[in-house]
Amino acid sequence: MCGIVGIVGSQPVSERLVDALKRLEYRGYDSAGVATIKDGELHRRRAEGKLVNLEGKLREEPLAGTIGIAHTRWATHGAPTERNAHPHFTDGVAVVHNGIIENFAELKAELASAGAEFQTETDTEVVAQLLASFRREGMGRREAMHAMLKRVSGAYALAVLFEDDPSTIMAARNGPPLAIGHGEGEMFLGSDAIALAPFTNEITYLVDGDWAVIGRASVHIFDIDGNLVTRPRQISMAAAYMIDKGNHRHFMEKEIHEQPEVISHALGHYVNFIENRVLPVSGVIDFAKVPSLAISACGTAYLAGLIGKYWFERYARLPVEIDVASEFRYREIPLSPQSAALFISQSGETADTLASLRYCKEHGLKIGAVVNTRESTIARESDAVFPILAGPEIGVASTKAFTCQLAVLASLAIAAGRARGTLGEEEEQAMVKSLAEMPRLMSRVLNSIQPKIEFLSRELAKCRDVLYLGRGTSFPLAMEGALKLKEISYIHAEGYAAGELKHGPIALIDENMPVIVIAPHDRFFDKTVSNMQEVAARGGRIILITDEKGAAATTLDTMHTIVLPNVDEIVAPMIFSLPVQLLAYHTAVFMGTDVDQPRNLAKSVTVE
């Protein structure tokens, strides 16, 4: 969730550290700080809130030094104040940390009883205090680092400066990602390759249990037992991306409008548009032979997985077990080694999803990863990788990654249907033709509905509560719509299966309650209209999102009707996601919230 950057350089580093932190802002944060060593002393600047506040402090009090570490913090232990911001200093030791030290209370009590005085409310400070105590006992820097790692448990990515060594950063990883960048006469450290892209494209990823000693021209990596190990260098593609908003007000708006292009890239990886056939997807996971499929993910990726479940079961007759990753492994699901599992994650670093992956791997399942970052931990630990090719997504609320995940899952479901003999050649070709038309249809929708969405969003911005309803694949999309509205506008919203309306949520319906109904003219349409009538009878304000056939087939009065093109069922979730995203976006803009970095949220959740 948080961001870490480090530079062992030959020229001043503070400005470059802050610039690198800006590339990690998409992860979400609530305070920031930077530390350097100059003339044998540690110096730091910290600030609550956005990086602009830290930059202001650095203008007033510049930091010199050619070695430094920097951090954006997303609070877990202790309020998001300057006092709790990283880096933490203790007796010549500076530490920044992503993750959670699970045994911090025990360690804190032990250190306090030995005379340590804690300055913050964070779990991270125990790392600095432990290192300082080991140094006071006479340990060398490497010895102290190794001893500290033997004592702490939990999830961590760490960067450490020792005041008496102005040429070395030490780092460690157990859970949250950490990458070392190789430069010319300089070395770098970062939470991901995007942070390091301005400096280098040669990257070494640490694996869980690794710790490293990073100098200006070299790096030594050790495992948790202190053995010297070698990790491969690889060329990162992150430097190829120009990450800016262009002519758009927010990254989220830009990413919504990028969807026609990125969807075409994603589909091009999985289908042959000339023959209208799906391409072979994996030599490792044989969909023809697996008796069942497990899917797990978090947040929006989980909702993409729910839609994928409908597709795999309908088109491939493949039973799917799905749950949110934070619950998946604790349910102790009976798993067969003959089965396969798919894990969906934009970042490829989601802690709960990674833990569920490892649980399935322990039970002998073949693992597939649907990820946006092929260099990520989830990708590296999977047997087959299915990239979504969305490009960097900076807005915390996922948009283009969601629809690219759906495009990939649709392609996999069609491939599974062909492999299992449940889809014929003509059916496959018809479905691929529908997918091929999607980029054009997306462009048409984005160009046509914007004025109406903006008008409607002004009214939604006045509301305190909103319901979303849908059936079939529109049910997970209703949940996604509610999630988007909650995330960036802070309006309370809930998504329900339309058939569940009378089993409780109908009690909330009155003349002040907007009810957004997602209803393409599919096999569920008539049933959904019946639920709309139940809402109308109780004075609810209906906002209907349907297609041309649906608009013609209903005479029910609505507050607003958003009409989309007629599309096949397999394409509908991706097309219908566009007004859902735009409604949330424009409502948040009218309300004046921080659209790209909503409060309390992080882009990449790397702790459980």
Catalytic residue list: 2, 603
Tell me the C-alpha distance between 550 and 558, whole Å: 13
3-class secondary-structure state, position 71: strand
In order, the DSSP letters of 95-154 are: EEEEEEETTHHHHHHHHHHTT----SS-STHHHHHHHHHHHHTT--HHHHHHHHHHH--E
Using only C-alpha atoms, the chain has a radius of gyration, in whole angstroms, of 25
Say if residues 295 and 308 touch (Cβ distance below 8 Å): yes
Tell me the C-alpha distance between 44 and 176, whole Å: 24
Residues 6+ positions from 574 with CB-CB distance below 8 Å? 263, 403, 406, 407, 410, 438, 442
DSSP 87: P
Tell me the C-alpha distance between 127 and 120, whole Å: 12
Phi first, then psi: give them for residue 522, nearest 5 degrees. -115, -165
Residues 6+ positions from 372 with CB-CB distance below 8 Å? 345, 346, 347, 348, 387, 388, 389, 390, 391, 393, 401, 404
Residues 6+ positions from 153 with CB-CB distance below 8 Å? 101, 102, 103
Return contacts of 42-46, CB within 8 angstroms, 24+ apart.
Answer: 42/89, 42/92, 42/94, 42/161, 42/163, 44/87, 44/89, 44/94, 45/14, 46/82, 46/85, 46/86, 46/87
Torsion of CA 536, 542, 544, 550, to 10 degrees: 10
Q: What are the residues facing 547 on neighbouring strands?
A: 564
Element spanning 31, H or E: strand 31-38
Angle at 458 between CA 455 and CA 463, to 5 degrees: 135
Say if residues 4 and 20 touch (Cβ distance below 8 Å): no
